[in-house]
Structure 1
Amino acid sequence: MSTTRGVRVTRRLLWRWRHNPLRRHSDVVEAWIVLAVWTVALLGGLLAGAAAGAAVLQNVADRRAAVHPVSARLTEDAARGAPVLDSYDVGKSWVTVRWTGADGSPRTGLAKALPTAGAGSLLRIWVTRDERPAGPPPSRAEVTYECLASAALVAPLAATAVWGGGWLVRRQLMRRRLAEWDAEWRQVGPQWRNFSGGKG
């Protein structure tokens, strides 16, 4: 209950479901729409976030299955290699390495190594099924971050989309309700003015 300029206003919960002479069919419809929108927005957001996290996990699993680690040997001093410009591996250099492929043939390629690594030292690298150097799969911490970030981004977007659809439906109901009120006032208005004028 609240007071506005000396007038007490009583707010009843679930008033659209309560039986009263002022309740319209559109009020009941709107109440069910609001309940459905909030339910779908909440559950849909949670399910969409979970699906996004599952998609990230599947993507990581595919990436892990596509590469495998091998031991490679540097063919030159890493200090002579070109510096890595990637911010994640700043301070490392590109060097030529050699390793033995799954079929026993010698392979060469470029890999990232610390500048202190000398020629002949061993380096663990990741290669694809066709023996091409590749980046390492993400760590557990990176996977957790990607899952949480994806879920945190997708869940609110899905919930907002559902809420936006419900808002458009409620807006149409409001227009319809105003049109009904206007039509009823055109019928009752003249009688009300006549009644008021008669008393005056």
Structure 2
Amino acid sequence: MLAARTLAVLGGLLAALATQGAVQDDLAARRADVHSVSAELTEDAPRIPPVSTYGYGDDKVWAKVRWVAADGSTHTGTTRVEPGTAMGTRVTGWTDHSGRLVLEPASPSEAWLQTALFSAAATVGAGAVVLVGGQLVRGRLDRRRLAEWDAQWEQVGPRWRKRMLG
């Protein structure tokens, strides 16, 4: 069990490091794939944000915008803006490499939080897998040891009883 616990800690740390690298690489790729554009609201944004079903959010609302792409073409879409923003207001939108509106990339603090949460989950998951595996191996070894003791007792038991009774 000491080996399983040691492997659980080491495996958890390695999983956390690997996850940290993967999450940071993914977030960096997302940041590199999007760029900001100046867009104009084509309608008044709703004044009241919808109730979040998850209990958290940034209280922004969806509103229709229009922007001009780098090639000079005009596009429309929806993006998240502050509630009550008036039609004609300039806002920042984010587009991907194909010119579609996407969500704003994660801020440094959001990226740190995502990295920490995914790394913690990977640590717990990897550690749990190793510990459960160790418990399964231990259970199998215990069953085998008890079977060996039973076999030995069948050989020694009758002789021991004769001495005790005789």
TM-score (norm 1): 0.71
* Structure 1, unaligned runs of 5 or more: 1-33
Shift of 1:69: 0.4
Q: Given residue 85 of structure 1, which amino acid in structure 2 is its aligned partner?
A: P
How far the C-alpha of 1:42 sits from its partner, in A, is 0.9
Distance in 1 (alpha carbons) for counterparts of 2:51 and 2:30: 20
Alpha carbons of structure 1 residues 91 and 106: separation in structure 2 relative to 1, 3 Å: closer
Alpha-carbon distance, 1:162 to partner = 0.9
Per-residue CA deviations over 1:129-178 (Å, capped at 9, x if unaligned) read 22221110011111111111112222112111111111111111111111
Q: Is the 8 A contact 1:83 1:94 kept in 2?
A: no
Count of equivalent residues: 162
My pick for the range that moved more, 178-187 or 98-107, is 98-107
1:105 alignment partner, one of 53, 69, 73? 73
Question: Quick one: percent identity of the two aligned structures?
Answer: 43
**Residue 74 of structure 1: CA displacement?**
2.7
CA distance in 2, matches of 1:165, 1:74: 57
Structure 2 residues not aligned, in runs of 5+ = none
In structure 2, the CA distance between the partners of 1:115 and 1:191, relative to structure 1 (3 Å rule), is closer
Greater C-alpha Rg: 1
Instruction: Give distance in 1, aligned partners of 2:129 and 2:104.
Output: 37
Higher mean C-alpha displacement, 123-132 vs 98-107: 98-107
* 2:83 pairs with 1:118: no
Deviation >4 Å, runs of 4+? 81-84
Summarize the alignment of residues 120-159 of structure 1 with structure 2, pairs less than 5 Å apart. 120-159=88-127
Higher relative CO (CA 8 A, sep ≥ 6), structure 1 or 2?
2
RMSD: 2.3
